[in-house]
Amino acid sequence: MISTVYAVLFYVATVLLIVGTGMKVLKYARTPILLKIPVSPAPRTKRGVVLRMLREVLFFESLFKSNKWIWIFAYLFHYGMALVLLRHLRYFTDPVWWWVALIQPFGILAGFAMFAGLGGLMARRIFQPRIRYISNPSDYLMLALLMLIVFSGYSMKFLAHTDIIALKAYMLGLMRFQIGDLPTTLPLLVHLASVATLMIIFPISKLMHAPGLFFAPSRTMVDNARDKRFVSKWARNLPPLPEGIPTSEEG
């Protein structure tokens, strides 16, 4: 019973995540940019823009320059999570890829980094008056959900041991559309349910910042307005204005 519920949950979550995010990304891509609006100093070439975006993604460059505390916590959280996610590939691959096997111990440590980062962000949200002022319930809940995911994940390792072999068999089965038996320890059920929740809300929440980053005209546009005429799809349909000066205009 529970195995089936979770299977359905994961299929639904995966579809919503992929389709929802895909639709949003398509919407962004199809929405015209009206004018050349990079925030300068901006690169004069496409290559420069790629480098600018790489620095943003790899180092969170702008955040580093603007707020060191948020940067530390955000960096710990995001890159901790990246490692943790890569580590989890071992539940979906058989045989496990060599480099996934290699990073297993780091993945465990990265979970702590992730938790520390989340804790820091949560503390700032609660105790820093400016950030508290701009926070909505969803902002706290999002952090709480992520913390719950990490916490329940560690519980399986350190509190109530879960049968990983059985879990892996279940996951590999799901990937082949076969529903096997899910081990039903509480931490695992909480862990999986909270991950599915995160996947479902991804496309309809601020989590869209991840793909959104690549659509921000302020960072992704090339600064070449004088060299190359830029006209948006939308502006091409505007009625033309008169050439030449109307004579009645003067005075």
Partner 1 sequence: MAPLDKKADDDKFMDNPFVIPPLECGASLDTDTFKAYPEHNEALGFPGELLDNWKEVAIAKMGELAKRNRAFQVYLDTCVKCGACTDKCQYFLGTADPKNMPVARQDLLRSVYRRYYTFAGKYFPWLVGARDLTKEVLDEWYTYYHQCSQCRRCSVACPYGIDTAEISMAAREILDSVGVGQKYCNEIIAKLKKTGNNLGLNPKALAATLEDLEEDLEDETGVAVKIPLDVKGADILLITPSADFFAEPHIDGLLGYAKVFHSAGVSWTLSSYASEAANFGMFIGSYENMREVSWRIRQAAKDLGVKRIIFGECGHAWRVAYSFLNTLAGPFDFLDQNYPIPQHILEFTLDEIESGRLKIDKSRNDEFVMTYHDSCNVARGSAMGDKEGGQFDVPRAVIKAVCNNFHDMERDTIRENTFCCGGGGGLLTDDLMDLRIKGAKPRMTALKQVSDNHGVNKMAAICAICKTQFAKVMPKYGFEMDTIMSVHQLVANAVILDGQESDEAEEPTAEETP
Q: Which residues bind partner 1 (CB under 8 A)?
A: 24, 27-28, 31-37, 39-44, 48, 56, 60, 62-63, 65-67, 70, 74, 121, 124, 128-131, 133-139, 141, 204-206, 208-209, 212-213, 215-219, 223, 225-226, 229-232, 234-235, 238, 241-245, 249-251
Choose between 22 and 32: whose C-beta lies nearer to partner 1. 32
Dihedral of alpha carbons 41, 46, 48, 51, sign: positive
Q: How far is the CB of 7 from partner 1 (least distance, A)?
A: 25
Choose between 197 and 232: whose C-beta lies nearer to partner 1. 232
Q: How far is the CB of 5 from partner 1 (least distance, A)?
A: 23
Cis check: omega of the bond before 41, within 30 degrees of 0: yes
Dihedral of alpha carbons 103, 105, 110, 111, sign: positive
Residue pair 212/28 in contact by the 8 Å Cβ criterion: yes
Choose between 95 and 137: whose C-beta lies nearer to partner 1. 137
Choose between 60 and 115: whose C-beta lies nearer to partner 1. 60
Q: How far is the CB of 84 from partner 1 (least distance, A)?
A: 19
Q: How far is the CB of 27 from partner 1 (least distance, A)?
A: 7
Q: How far is the CB of 232 from partner 1 (least distance, A)?
A: 8
Q: How far is the CB of 156 from partner 1 (least distance, A)?
A: 29
Q: H helices of 16-135, where?
A: 21-30, 46-59, 61-66, 68-88, 98-102, 104-127, 129-134
Q: How far is the CB of 66 from partner 1 (least distance, A)?
A: 4
Residue pair 243/59 in contact by the 8 Å Cβ criterion: no
CB atoms within 10 A of CB 23: 11
Choose between 95 and 244: whose C-beta lies nearer to partner 1. 244
Choose between 158 and 247: whose C-beta lies nearer to partner 1. 247
**DSSP 8-state code for residue 225:** T
> How far is the C-alpha of 146 from the C-alpha of 117, rounded, in Å?
11
Q: H helices of 128-243, where?
A: 129-134, 137-158, 164-175, 186-201, 209-212, 217-220
> How far is the C-alpha of 163 from the C-alpha of 156, rounded, in Å?
9
What tokens does 37 get? 């609006």
Choose between 176 and 243: whose C-beta lies nearer to partner 1. 243
